[in-house]
Amino acid sequence: MSSNPIKLGIVGVGKIVRDQHLPALAKDQDYRLVAAASRHGKVEDIPNFPTIEAMLDSVPELEAVSLCMPPQFRYDAARLALAAKKHVFLEKPPGATVSEVEDLKALAAANGVCLFASWHSRYAPAVEAARTFLSSTTIRSAAINWKEDVRRWHPNQEWIWAPGGFGVFDPGINALSIATHILPPMFISSAELDFPENRAAPIAAHIAFRTSNGLPVTMELDWRQTGPQSWDILADTEVGSMVLAGGGSKLAIDGRVVHEEPEAEYPMLYKRFAEIVRAGTSDVDLAPLQHVADAFMLGKRNVVEAFFD
């Protein structure tokens, strides 16, 4: 592929697109945003369409699409784009089920185009430093604490409470995308999921993992956190305690900050997408999504009090 800017269309113009995708694309010379499709939102100064079908039909010069709608609707849109031989960027989570994304991988390969599962939290500035530290020592135990206020981060977003909307695993999968990158391979041994009596998706989860060599890893997810938010991964090692805090933005060893940089996750995601498009390959890691599926498969369901935004 040439080094000319990639002609990109974006689908699903909501909060994450306005907060992250559009600012990242505006500064990236690897792309030219040429169209958008959304039932409600619009992007100024480019053609806008009500559906991805209309966008693909009307803008044949599109080379790639970025799919940012809720996960329940991502599979059908991705199939349309891949069948039209467009490269596809999947906002996280890449689909509502593991089997959907497996099918998309096969379809991308059959059509000679690229598929990218964009685990944005893996690109937080201190994640690679944490991975390097943990690979240099012996880990004794680890804990994941991901607790935030759903009212603050997902106001009036009913899709997250519907089947396939993931509930508290919508942010929790960000933690899993980091954990599966920096910790040894792990497997769920037990889980409890707290479902509000008026919701179809969990508001909290309590999970125990083990690794193949017996390393214990616990995970606490909660969407009812008020005050300071908690996005932390902790590890006890033979050379000291590690805290990867702030969703991967700050790394401390024995209380001393050793790595901290400004957040640049989405610019890094689009840089990676351009790399795989130019190289003609795909980047689709299903490990975080598989852990969510395992939690629902193994998890004991607890009914808790009703939750209202």
CA gap 195, 200 in Å, rounded: 7
- Strand order from edge to edge, sheet including 48-49: 48-49, 31-37, 6-11, 64-67, 87-90, 115-117
CA gap 10, 226 in Å, rounded: 33
Which of 15, 85, 86, 92 is labelled catalytic?
92
CA gap 52, 66 in Å, rounded: 11
Active-site annotation holds for 250:
no
Number of helical H runs and strand E runs in the chain: 10, 15
Query: Any idea of the CA torsion for 204, 286, 189, 299, to the nearest 10 degrees?
Result: 40
The three-class DSSP label of residue 30 is: coil
Q: What token pair was written down for 153?
A: 């981060």
Tell me the catalytic residues.
92
